[in-house]
Amino acid sequence: MHSENRVSRILNTDYPIIQGGMAWASDPILTAAVSNAGGLGMLASGSMNAEDLSLEIEKTRTLTERAFGVNVMMLSPHLHEIIDLLVQERVHLVTLGAGNSGKVIGKLKSAGIVVAPVIASVAMARRAESVGADMVIAEGMEAGGHIGRVTTMALVPQVADAIQIPVVAAGGIADGRGMAAAFCLGAEGVQMGTRFVCSVECQVHENYKERLVKASELDAIIAGVGSGHPIRCLRNSLTRKIDVMEKRGAEFEEIERIAVGGLRRAVKEGDMDNGSVMAGQICGLVKEIVPVDKIIRSMIEEFTHIFRDHSGGSLS
Amino acid sequence: MHSENRVSRILNTDYPIIQGGMAWASDPILTAAVSNAGGLGMLASGSMNAEDLSLEIEKTRTLTERAFGVNVMMLSPHLHEIIDLLVQERVHLVTLGAGNSGKVIGKLKSAGIVVAPVIASVAMARRAESVGADMVIAEGMEAGGHIGRVTTMALVPQVADAIQIPVVAAGGIADGRGMAAAFCLGAEGVQMGTRFVCSVECQVHENYKERLVKASELDAIIAGVGSGHPIRCLRNSLTRKIDVMEKRGAEFEEIERIAVGGLRRAVKEGDMDNGSVMAGQICGLVKEIVPVDKIIRSMIEEFTHIFRDHSGGSLS
């Protein structure tokens, strides 16, 4: 198989597969495991300060010599010190989520860092390209965590038609079938979150992994629509409480009070009732916890077989 | 290209492509055009009575000698007379939407009719198979009209893993890229609605087609979530009114009053403000109104090229 394309060349990886940077769940061990297996591992700076992130980067470098990246939330209270740190550390890739990334792209680019905004619409993709992004992560609303409104199937071909830089598809992808589908739609790489959470190397609480493995596609609902910042997570006591509060017209601040710290409660304490168990709709496909290198290897094998089986355009 | 597979054999068509049965928009002219072009055209019985549907079937038969089908809403007030008519007329395919189809499948099957329930979850797919369906239409929530909650990308592989009968993917598909992606995910056929509405042969009001051609992916929103029967349609004055009513907690009946007849107003009168302009998120990809045979021909060409280009599993 030709394992190289525009995205793997830009990422300096064996395969154009990125592990989504997930606050609390993406740590140096997972990140290094993905990079060592030929993909691109990602730390997530979340609402960390620069000092904490610096320690994570340092630790990751002790675990891998390969390229890795950091996801940055544009809404981070420590945005500017985080960007300064990344420029200084020259991590390979920075993905930018939740906000207008135009302001920081120039700074990162001039340090030679590959920049990929996470986008949820054609207009956002065009804007990212116009401000100098190297590629975009086109994330469908079946993804876990903070989401937009357009699905991967609808978003990826429309984005691919609109821009020249490469498109990496995210949302609803957990195996070689999803990767092959994304490539048919015009993507040149994939980013996965839920699948990598259910890896041996991911350090989330065992309850979290077990809950994901048992979940069906209908369990990954959308919470907090009323807040304007919807997130996809597994239905539980917390999402039911938020739902009741939204129905009676509670203020954002009141809902925020019961939701705050929810992701940490789920990931670190294993509280599956009152924690925020972020997961994508593809969770129903994830049936076992396996090592990262097995996830990547079997994906690439399946991807290759699919195109071999259909080569010549055969329908069956 | 091998143009035959399990689905095209069951459908008795050249290609495994179904035109979704859309109330008010699927008429004998469109249905016959799709069947004559090698796909399977579909009438939509909507809330029609048997007498009206009988005339539509008769007219379709004057326009094509090929197989076609009828979509039946399980919530139709005329359900039983419609089913009796279909048994008598022995149309080739019946798709069943919006409700528990177990009750009517036996009757249709014993008349030799191919039966395909539209399903929105793995559990619904399993149920359809267990009551004797020939195939399922797995419809993602990016589709237009009445929708479920799971996206095509997440739904199709999970359904394909769960059942043995063929899966036809619907939602987010408007070209050969979408069809190829659906096949990678495990589908053996596709159903399209929005793409066929923007055909020369579709008899919806010109305003409707023009509005779809101009729409972006973000325009196809979800209305009526509070009612428990969400539909995807283009944002307009009607959807804004419904939104305001839902936010102040209006009763279903009150919302129903302004929504009733909305689809007819849009399709027949061309009222793009107060009508219900049903459309899928893939509308942003549909840039021109072309004849049905061109839609199908270019889809199959693109589908074939994609697999030829990637044959051997090449990434670029």
Q: Where are the domains of chain B?
A: 6-201+291-306, 206-282
Give the distance from CA B33 to its chain's centroid. 16
Closest chain B C-alpha to A300 CA, distance in angstroms:
9
Q: B178 contacts in A (CB within 8 Å)?
A: 153, 157, 184-185
pTM, full prediction: 0.96
For A281, nearest residue in chain B (alpha carbons):
B154
Q: Is A6-203+288-301 CATH 3.20.20.70?
A: yes
Q: A1 contacts in B (CB within 8 Å)?
A: 312-315
**Per-residue confidence band for A121, with pLDDT thresholds at 50, 70 and 90:** very high
A308 → closest Cβ in B3, B308, B313: B313
Q: B182 contacts in A (CB within 8 Å)?
A: 181
Q: A155 contacts in B (CB within 8 Å)?
A: 217, 281
For B285, nearest residue in chain A (alpha carbons):
A158
Helices B79-89 and B50-63, axial angle in degrees (round to 10): 30
- pLDDT on residue A1: 44
Q: What is the rounded distance in angstroms from the CA atom of residue B285 to the CA atom of residue A188?
A: 19
Q: Residue A38: left (phi > 0), alpha (psi -120 to 50), or beta?
A: left
Take residue B102 and report the two structure tokens written for it.
């177990």
Fold of domain B6-201+291-306: TIM Barrel (3.20.20)
Comparing A82-86, B25-29, B225-229, the range with the smallest average pLDDT is B225-229
- Nearest Cα to Cα of residue B220 among A227, A122, A149: A149
Q: What is the rounded distance in angstroms from the CA atom of residue B42 to the CA atom of residue B205?
A: 19
Q: What is the pLDDT of residues A252-261, one digit of tens each?
A: 788 888 888 8
**Per-residue confidence band for B2, with pLDDT thresholds at 50, 70 and 90:** very low
Q: What is the rounded distance in angstroms from the CA atom of residue A88 to the CA atom of residue A108?
A: 10
Partner-chain contact A149 B180, CB within 8 Å:
no
B185 → closest Cβ in A123, A181, A280: A181
Partner-chain contact A154 B316, CB within 8 Å:
no
Q: A142 contacts in B (CB within 8 Å)?
A: 150-151, 153-154
For A186, nearest residue in chain B (alpha carbons):
B177
Q: Residue B160: left (phi > 0), alpha (psi -120 to 50), or beta?
A: alpha
Closest chain A C-alpha to B75 CA, distance in angstroms:
23
For A309, nearest residue in chain B (alpha carbons):
B311
Q: What is the pLDDT of residues B194-217, one digit of tens each?
A: 999 999 999 999 999 999 999 999
**Per-residue confidence band for A101, with pLDDT thresholds at 50, 70 and 90:** confident
Q: Kindly tell me the sign of the dihedral angle through the C-alpha atoms of A201, A202, A206, A212.
A: negative
| DSSP state letter for B218 | G
Q: Give the Å distances, CA to CA, from B99 to A217, B25, B117, B148, B306.
A: 20, 21, 9, 12, 37
Is pLDDT at A217 greater than 70 in this prediction? yes
ipTM score above 0.85: yes
- Nearest Cα to Cα of residue A160 among A137, A131, A179: A137
Q: A216 contacts in B (CB within 8 Å)?
A: 121-123
- Nearest Cα to Cα of residue A20 among A141, A192, A135: A192
Identify from A3, A184, A246, A303 which residue to disrupt to test chain B contact, counting B C-beta atoms within 10 A and taking the largest count.
A184
- pLDDT on residue A2: 47
For B249, nearest residue in chain A (alpha carbons):
A247
Partner-chain contact A314 B158, CB within 8 Å:
no
- pLDDT on residue B225: 81
Is pLDDT at A316 greater than 70 in this prediction? no
Q: A298 near A176, Cβ under 8 Å?
A: yes
**In this prediction, what percent of chain B has a pLDDT beyond 70?**
97
Partner-chain contact B153 A178, CB within 8 Å:
yes
Closest chain B C-alpha to A274 CA, distance in angstroms:
23
Closest chain B C-alpha to A311 CA, distance in angstroms:
5
The average pLDDT across B102-125 equals 95
Is pLDDT at A249 greater than 90 in this prediction? no
The average pLDDT across B218-228 equals 88
Identify from B10, B139, B151 which residue to disrupt to test chain A contact, counting A C-beta atoms within 10 A and taking the largest count.
B151
- pLDDT on residue A3: 63
